[in-house]
Amino acid sequence: MILLFVLVSVISFAGSIHPGTVNLAVIQTTLSQSRRAGLWLALGGSLPEIGYSALAAGGAMLIPTDAAWVKFLPYLPIPVLLLAGLAALRQKPVELVAVASGGYTTFPFWKGVALSSTNPQLLPFWSAVWIYLSGTTLVPAHQPGSQWVFAVATASGALGLLMLVSFVANRYRQRVLQYLNNLWINRLTAGTFISMALWQFIRLVAG
């Protein structure tokens, strides 16, 4: 279970590296308000991962094992991970728009929850990762606690990355745009997902 938690946390951390909506909101809030506000947004942005990943794992565990089409499920992570990798690879550099301070601002926590909850990639991505890991000894059969370890790990990895983003944005304000426009970040994320897809393909062919 510990290994499952660590591995899923690393996957979630790596999957959150490329500049997405929540990452940009954390940076924006940290620079325009405070580091504390950025951390609140980071917490709110990581919590929906628990719901989506638990739903993904729970739904996959309810699939009847005697159905004829179940034998094709191990192939599902391959196109999903490939598409996630290609999307990260093709993502264009982003710009950070300045926000004027002052006036009424929504509590950053709820802004993070709203932004993350509307991410359409979370459910299919974590469904693919759960199916990917289910073919290994990391997810013991008939052990329902594994899906909650999986769910908490997804949020932990995302929270760790978002907190790091807030700290870096607060400390190195002038270098933020350089990070956002650095293509190696997207390439690293793309390489991680594509490598996972290739390893799943090799494992299925070899097995």
Report the distance separating Cα 181 and Cα 165, nearest Å.
15
Q: What is the 3-state secondary structure (H, E, C) of 101-114?
A: CCCCCCCHHHHHHH
What tens digit of pLDDT does each residue of 139-154 get?
765 566 888 899 999 9
Put simply, whether the predicted model's pTM sits higher than 0.85 gets the answer no
pLDDT, average across residues 25-30:
84
pLDDT digits (tens, 9 = 90+) for 86-140: 876 776 655 555 444 443 355 899 989 988 888 777 888 888 888 888 767 667 6
Question: What pLDDT is stored for residue 104 in this prediction?
Answer: 38
Question: What is the rounded CA–CA span in Å between residue 49 and residue 64?
Answer: 25
Q: What is the mean pLDDT of residues 165-194?
A: 74
Joined tokens for residue 18: 């490329």
> What pLDDT is stored for residue 37 in this prediction?
92
Q: Is the pLDDT of residue 41 over 60?
A: yes
Rounded to whole angstroms, how far apart are CA atoms 34 and 66? 54
Q: How confident is the model at residue 173 (pLDDT cuts 50, 70, 90)?
A: confident
If one counts every other C-beta atom within 10 angstroms of the C-beta of residue 85, the result is: 22
What is the model's pLDDT at position 142? 57
Would you call 51 helix, strand, or coil by DSSP?
helix
The stretch 9-14 carries a mean pLDDT of: 92
Query: Is the predicted pLDDT of residue 40 greater than 80, yes or no?
Result: yes
pLDDT at 91: 65
Share the mean pLDDT of the chain.
78
Mean pLDDT of 167-195: 73
Distance CA 71, CA 88 (A): 29
Contact 49, 12 (CB under 8 A): yes
Domain boundary assignment for the chain = 2-206
